[in-house]
Chains A and B, each alone.
Chain A
Amino acid sequence: MSALWLVLIALGLLFLRQYVVVVLAVVVGYVYMVWGDGRLENIVLDGWDALNQDVLLPIPLYMLAGAIMAEGAIAERLIRVMRALAGPIPGGLAVATCLSCGLFAAIVGSSTVTLLAVGAIMYPALLQAGYSKSFSIGLICAGATLGIIIPPSIPLILYGVMTATSISDLFLAGVGPGLLLMGLFTAYAVTTNWRRRTGTWQLRELLDSLRGGIWAMFMPVLILGGIYSGQFTATESAAVAVMYALVVELFVYRKLDLRGLLRVSTETTRLLGGLFPVLMMALALNKFLTFEQVPARIVESLSAWLSSPTEFLLMTNVLLLVVGCIMDIGSAILILAPILQPVAEAQGMHPVHFGIMMTVNLEIGYLTPPLGLNIIVAMTAFRENFWFICRALLPFIGLMLVGLAVVAAWPDLSLFLLTP
């Protein structure tokens, strides 16, 4: 009966348009009052303990590094490189869009910023080159989601924090699935636009564009290379990324001044101020659930009920696809990862592999109605109606589902870079 009340209270608060942090605070308070020792101070004490750990430090640092890099003319520079590289192949402009989205999203880490920045340049260019409206919008919206899985990725850090999984390992494991999805989008772009080519390869243009874009393109290499070679931890590589972004934008590209830096820092803090209180409450709830051995009991009851790991994979993926339609990726990971990960591990899944599969799955939620964030942003950016964009996204959602199935069924795709 108490559990039913808890669900009703949470639904009631959502109906009354409460923020996730308020809903979680009330849920945690209720849980402490009904099943705990009744001391509400524990909400703040457990929240404090949750924040008082250095595993969270990469989050603000990577977010700031991405925001600094996004401030300058980086999108334009990357697109120029990709157009010079891919333009002459069949469907070249579409391939360049896809690669630009993947690389830009990997650097700035934000799906909507990628959609707006790359879309502003590539959408008119694609239409001008004769690509259909529907294909162009679908490609840009889907390509923009790649940053969620290509490291450095904030959702992967959140998963690592909530499940005590190595963030460095998650970053390395994101490379394979990220490349797979990018490869699927690229293959689709080539096959559906086989007859469209723009110009021939120009060595001079390629070298010129590389000179302009190489500094930005080096950032993911620096982060991943540093982690893979064992030179940096995730936190250290995040600090190095911030300093690198500052040097590049202040002294190489010279697109950023101190006023701009203050704006970027405030903008990043605004995002952190929305994310961290949710993280704090989710970790407090997680601590209580772990203390009460709730995940262990869920594992026990589900293990008896599930007949095979395949059944678990199917059920989890359907659940996550539904959740992705109605909830943002951060909240979904914070709430569901600590509950589902122990079950996945009991079913023989590697925790890193499960984290990657969960993130790829929730990435699809950016493109699905009714609340897909990229649909909503694209409505404003491309001035098209909701259902037109939904239809445009259908083939790309199909490709992502294929990618998800491969990621789920083939653990080595995620785990091949990890040292045994």
Chain B
Amino acid sequence: MKALLAAMRRAEVLLTTTAFVVLIAVIFGDVVMRRVTGSGIVWARELGVFANIVLTIIGIGLASSDGTHLRPRVFDRLVPRDWDPAMTRIQEALTAIAFGTLAWIAYGVVQETIALDDRSIVLRWAVWPIQLCLPLAFAAGFVRHGIFALDPALRPGDRGEGDVP
């Protein structure tokens, strides 16, 4: 299970880093082109938005992997400390169920998008390959949090610090 988690993380880092590079390149390229030629790159914003979607949705996995999803701790002290191991398993199991449900719903949405042949406005690309990151990310969340529920020792600890920078 440890190897599976590591492999998932490597894939997520690769995808999100690529998306970040694309995002920076197209938006900065657009600014430069506008200065140099007087007109920007017409498809830059759309490609930037797609890169941002891949970056931030696949990034859900990295947040799960490092335990940094936002979580209010206001009720934590209502439960005796002895209960913490059980509470952790319940927490992770419920999160896995929520992500699993979202993955299933998102898969249905992608199927609908394919059936409707939805295309982006400027690039005229089929939308579903980008949209596919939603069920994939949610499914990864289901697997990851499911593993954490089964074996809490693999959990990264709860760092959900809420420091929106």
Contacts and interface: CB of A to CB of B under 8 A. Distances in A.
Nearest to A274: B63
Nearest to B75: A15
A56 interface: yes
A147 B165 CA distance: 8
A203 interface: no
A154 interface: yes
B79 to A, nearest CB: 8
A111 B163 contact: yes
Nearest to B134: A44
A232 B31 contact: yes
B24 A278 contact: no
B28 A240 contact: yes
Contacts of A278: 70
A57 B72 contact: no
B78 interface: yes
A108 B20 contact: no
A16 B87 contact: yes
A328 interface: yes
A51 to B, nearest CB: 5
Given A48-B131, A239-B24, A239-B31, A272 B56 contact: yes
Contacts of A149: none
A270 B24 contact: no
Interface stretch (A19-27, A92-100, A175-183, A390-398): A19-27
A331 interface: yes
A276 interface: yes
Contacts of A370: 74, 77
Interface string B49-93: 100110111111111111011111111111100000001101100
Contacts of B57: 51, 276-277
Contact of B13 (A11, A108, A266): A266
Contacts of B163: 110-112, 271, 328, 373
B71 A43 contact: no
B16 A40 contact: no
B160 interface: yes
A212 B64 CA distance: 38
A90 interface: no
A57 B49 contact: yes
A327 B72 contact: yes
A403 interface: no
Contacts of A43: 102, 105
Contacts of B160: 19, 274
B72 A326 contact: yes
Nearest to B15: A269
A270 B20 contact: no
A139 interface: no
A150 B91 CA distance: 36
B149 interface: no
Interface in A253-284: 262, 265-266, 268-278
Contacts of B60: 21, 273-274, 276-277
A117 interface: no
Given A57-B48, A276-B59, A328 B165 contact: no
Contacts of A273: 56, 58-64, 68-69
B151 interface: no
30 contacts: A14-B75, A15-B79, A16-B90, A17-B87, A19-B71, A19-B95, A22-B94, A40-B105, A45-B109, A51-B53, A53-B49, A60-B20, A113-B165, A154-B164, A158-B164, A236-B27, A239-B30, A242-B24, A243-B24, A269-B55, A270-B59, A271-B163, A272-B55, A273-B63, A273-B68, A328-B163, A329-B164, A371-B73, A371-B74, A373-B161
Query: Which 9 pairs show the lowest CB-CB distances between chains A and B?
Result: A328-B162, A273-B59, A330-B164, A273-B63, A276-B56, A110-B165, A239-B27, A19-B69, A274-B63
Interface of A: 11, 13-22, 25-26, 40-41, 43-45, 47-48, 51-54, 56-57, 60-61, 63-64, 66, 108-113, 147, 154-155, 158, 232, 235-236, 238-240, 242-243, 262, 265-266, 268-278, 326-331, 370-371, 373
Given A44-B102, A44-B134, A276-B56, 18 more contacts: A16-B87, A18-B71, A51-B57, A52-B49, A57-B49, A60-B55, A154-B164, A232-B31, A239-B24, A239-B30, A239-B31, A265-B20, A266-B13, A271-B63, A271-B165, A273-B59, A274-B63, A371-B74
